[in-house]
Structure 1
Amino acid sequence: MNTSFNDSKPIFLQIKELIEDQIVNDQLKGNEQIPSTTQLVNFYKINHLTISKGINLLVENGIIYKKRGVGMFVAEGAKEKLLTQRKEQFLDQYLLPMIQEAKKLGISEEDISKMINQLKGSE
């Protein structure tokens, strides 16, 4: 787990995203228990309320669920739900602005495709 946080967004959102990343990357699977709030507090050395706020967002979004007295678990279908959400975000945050800028610059779809293939080849 990455233990460094940045100032670009609140820590509770970064905690939420770390857990989401673990689900998307199959480190946490459907109906699998996630670390407790106390374990996360001890690992990250941050306030209990900060961890709880991130966890509660995941519960509200149906990504994880709580079993009273047992712990928190990844909801069935959470990975698919997250992938759908992230694809929509990718479209809105990256592709749409890229296409709009390409249009302003007179860059064709073919040119964009060539640029993407060149970048993929240089990795």
Structure 2
Amino acid sequence: MMKFEFNSSEPIYRQVAEQIEDAVASGGFEEGQQIPSTTEISKEFHINPATVLKGMNIVVAKNLIEKRRGLGMFVQQGARQRILEEKRNSFFEEFVVNLVREARNLDISEDELLELVKRGYKR
């Protein structure tokens, strides 16, 4: 289910792209499945069709969905794995690197940090 934050500083077209990617990553849209059209999304959420198309084009450019002339947009094979890899890389760069840096600043050893992470998983 798509949900848009119209008061967010993030542009709507980027939210469209992220919503589609998130739906593919979570299995909401399966590989080979047709996704809602630009017109369907724009009507359902009262978004300008050009804005929806701009967001969809981002996902097309990443080779996650493909346009099939006269048929619509479909999730490409391997799209879920590519999205998960991208998200894992982003997680590493945005969170893990900073976590390790902060742990070093606090004189937390690697072993202590691993124990803290394990403790976090148990919660």
Please indicate, yes or no, whether the TM-score normalized by the shorter chain is above 0.5. yes
Q: Does 1:51 align with 2:13?
A: no
Secondary structure at the residue paired with 2:34? Answer: coil
Provide the rounded CA distance (Å) in 2 between the counterparts of 1:19 and 1:114: 36
Q: RMSD in angstroms over aligned alpha carbons?
A: 1.4
Distance 1:110 1:23, change over 3 A: same
Match in the other structure for 1:19: 20
Q: Does 1:64 align with 2:55?
A: no
CA drift at 1:10: 1.6
> What is the aligned-residue identity percentage?
34
34-43 or 107-116, larger mean C-alpha shift: 107-116
Match in the other structure for 1:108: 109
Distance 1:92 1:8, change over 3 A: farther
Secondary structure at the residue paired with 1:56? Answer: helix
Secondary structure at the residue paired with 2:17? Answer: helix
Match in the other structure for 1:76: 77
Match in the other structure for 1:32: 33
Aligned residue pair count: 122
- Counterpart code for 1:21: D
How big is each residue's C-alpha offset from its partner over 1:55-104, in whole Å with a ceiling of 9 and x where there is no partner?
00011110000011110000011011111111111111110111111111
68-77 or 105-114, larger mean C-alpha shift: 105-114
Provide the rounded CA distance (Å) in 1 between the counterparts of 2:3 and 2:43: 11
Provide the rounded CA distance (Å) in 1 between the counterparts of 2:14 and 2:73: 18
How big is each residue's C-alpha offset from its partner over 1:20-75, in whole Å with a ceiling of 9 and x where there is no partner?
11111111111110000011111221111211111000111100000111100000
Provide the rounded CA distance (Å) in 2 between the counterparts of 1:107 and 1:8: 36
Provide the rounded CA distance (Å) in 2 between the counterparts of 1:21 and 1:60: 16
- List runs of 5+ in structure 1 lacking aligned partners: none
> TM-score, normalised on structure 1?
0.90
Q: Which runs of 4+ in 1 moved over 4 A?
A: none
Provide the rounded CA distance (Å) in 1 between the counterparts of 2:56 and 2:9: 19
